[in-house]
Chain A
């Protein structure tokens, strides 16, 4: 069964460093998302992406964050200068073979980011 994959599974970085989290969405999906979950808290929406542009972003998604779909398969989240409070599990999700299935989002296994 097709699934969303993410790499790396864990990333440890120093404050101020840049990180890139990678995702391969389900191949025929059209809508892509990043969410994060700080330990013990809710899953929170970061950004959605469709047709090679950002559809919506949350307040968390400030200028330090960017997303890209550099080719037909990968979807990346870049954090330019990491802060301690960026430590969280980051989930990629994809959805939407067509309008009817757009809302059902399928999640990858996540990248655990630890900023020291």
Chain B
């Protein structure tokens, strides 16, 4: 069975701290890994990673994939209260002509002022 595990499940930090969120996966025919940010409602797309060792960056957020370790990390530097959200890791699994996403439970990040 395909599995995505995230850690920690929750994290409380102060503004300005740097955080690292982890995601590990066990899926057949791995193609890519996606990170989403979920605030009040919809998961918002952050990154898609396909190649090991190549960092993707967007502002203070960055992410990298390690295919050897079957894992990925999401880093957030100089955290702000607006970064408070659930961060979801998902892996597309092939299903017929397209892909369904298998999600982890998410990491609830709380950034206190």
Residues of A contacting B: mostly: strand
Q: CA separation between A102 and B44, bound complex, in Å?
A: 16
Given A103-B31, A107-B44, A56 contacting B96 (CB threshold 8 A): yes
Chain B 61-105: CB-based contact to A (< 8 A → 1; otherwise 0) = 000000000000000000000000000101010011111111111
How many B residues touch the partner, as a band? 20 to 34
CB of A89 within 8 A of CB of B105, answer no
What is the CB-to-nearest-CB distance from A95 to chain B, in angstroms, rounded to a whole number?
7
Instruction: State which size class the interface on A falls in.
Output: 20 to 34
**In the complex, what residue of chain B is closest to A89 when comparing beta carbons?**
B41
Residues of B within 8 A of A109 (CB): 41-42
Contact of B102 with A110 in the complex, beta carbons under 8 Å: no
Beyond A48-B95, A103-B32, A104-B48, 18 additional pairs, beta carbon < 8 A: A41-B105, A42-B103, A42-B105, A43-B88, A43-B103, A48-B96, A48-B99, A50-B97, A55-B98, A56-B95, A56-B98, A58-B100, A89-B41, A91-B42, A91-B43, A103-B34, A104-B34, A107-B44
